[in-house]
Structure 1
Amino acid sequence: MNLLVPLRRLSDAVNQVAIVLSVGCILAMLGISFTAFLYKLITGSSLSWTYSLARLFLPWIGFLSMTISLRYGEHVAMTLFVRSLPRVMIKIAAGLCLGVLALFAAMLVWYGWGYFQGATQVYMVSAQIQIPSKFTAIVVPLSGVIILLHLVHGFSLLEHFIDDDSMIGELIESNDAENRS
């Protein structure tokens, strides 16, 4: 149990880095698109490389946001069905769910690493801008490692273990505290 506390802190820190990277990728895409828009507005012609460069950030955004949503319990879940089960069955279903998540993450790492190693192409964004495909391929095994790391949080990743009554109570208390100040 003593090992779980630092691993959970590491998971939270990695999640913060993933959030920053995702926001950075989104801002880079927006910046590139806005540059293309301004260039077209000012000159009347378009830059050929903007679309190709901007789309290289999509795998990073997709895979990193998958790990972020998992960490906050915002993934696909059959909450209504699971909550109608007896408590023992909920724990079994949650254990199975975590097992499937672990298997999925392990497959991302295993097959993603092979994909990364085999990525030998170079994206020709323009004659001057050439980006190795390893830039986009590395996000696949990286996201698998992050998911495996997040699994140290256990059942708290699954929304059917969130206590609605305590959550509602906390919201009411925080709202009352804001109204008093």
Structure 2
Amino acid sequence: MKTFERYFLSANRWALILLLAAMAVIIFVNVALRYLTDQSIEWAEEISRHMMIWLTFLGAGPVLRYGGHIAVENLQDALPTAAARSIRIVVALLLFAFFGFMVWYGWLYMQRNMFQLTAVSQVPFAYIYAAMPVGGILLIVHWCLIVRDYVLQRSFASDAHFDANASASL
């Protein structure tokens, strides 16, 4: 399972890296062309916006793994261990439900906009809206891989990363 997790996380990270790099190149070339030649790439802004949407949904899973989303943890900190664990179970179930809702509603939204095309590049909006169900599925997989440690100890990968950096600096 650790091998799958390592490859899964690596593939997710590389998809993010490639998307961000392509978006940066497109925007840089467009700005350079605009100032150097008074011409710009017509589709650059639209495509980079769509890439940003995909970056958001594909990047939500790795951010979740590191505890990077906003959380209110004061209640857990104030409660005894068993009660705090119970709250984390409820939070975990609510997150699973939300991720499932993202997949389901994203799929419906994608189907509703299958024949609507973007203004400049004439790409079906369904390809852009597909980021929501794909991102939801990735969130479910990421959450399945870390939920046990979250519920039992409220630990994230960032905790291990922080501990490794703290011990290395001592």
Q: Could you tell me the TM-score, scaled by structure 2's length? A: 0.82
CA 1:105/1:11 → structure 2, altered by over 3 Å: closer, same or farther?
farther
Partner of 2:155: 162
Partner of 1:104: 98
Q: Which runs of 4+ in 1 moved over 3 A?
A: 8-12, 157-160, 165-173
User: Which secondary structure state, in structure 2, belongs to the residue aligned with residue 75 of structure 1?
Assistant: coil
- Mapped partners of 1:48, 1:168: distance in 2: 44
Residue range with higher mean Cα deviation, 20-29 or 165-174: 165-174
The question of 1:60 aligning with 2:59 is answered: no
Paired residues of 1:73 and 1:158 also in contact (CA < 8 A):
no
Partner of 2:24: 30
Partner of 1:77: 71
Paired residues of 2:109 and 2:129 also in contact (CA < 8 A):
yes
- Find 1:145's aligned residue among 118, 122, 137: 137
Query: What whole-Å deviation, never above 9, does each CA across 1:24-69 have from its counterpart, x for those lacking one?
Result: 2221221111111121122123333221121111211111121111
Unaligned runs of 5+ in 1: 1-5, 177-181
User: Which secondary structure state, in structure 1, belongs to the residue aligned with residue 67 of structure 2?
Assistant: coil
- Mapped partners of 2:108, 2:138: distance in 1: 17
C-alpha RMSD over aligned residues: 2.7
- Find 1:115's aligned residue among 109, 112, 117: 109
The question of 1:130 aligning with 2:116 is answered: no
CA 1:168/1:28 → structure 2, altered by over 3 Å: closer, same or farther?
closer
Paired residues of 1:71 and 1:157 also in contact (CA < 8 A):
no
Partner of 1:18: 12
Paired residues of 1:67 and 1:143 also in contact (CA < 8 A):
yes
Who wins on radius of gyration, i.e. which is larger? 1
User: Which secondary structure state, in structure 2, belongs to the residue aligned with residue 90 of structure 1?
Assistant: helix
Identity of aligned residues (%): 22
Paired residues of 2:85 and 2:151 also in contact (CA < 8 A):
no
Give the counterpart letter for 1:142 in structure 2: V
User: Which secondary structure state, in structure 1, belongs to the residue aligned with residue 123 of structure 2?
Assistant: strand
Paired residues of 1:94 and 1:155 also in contact (CA < 8 A):
no
Paired residues of 2:61 and 2:143 also in contact (CA < 8 A):
no
CA 1:170/1:38 → structure 2, altered by over 3 Å: closer, same or farther?
closer
Q: Could you tell me the TM-score, scaled by structure 1's length? A: 0.78
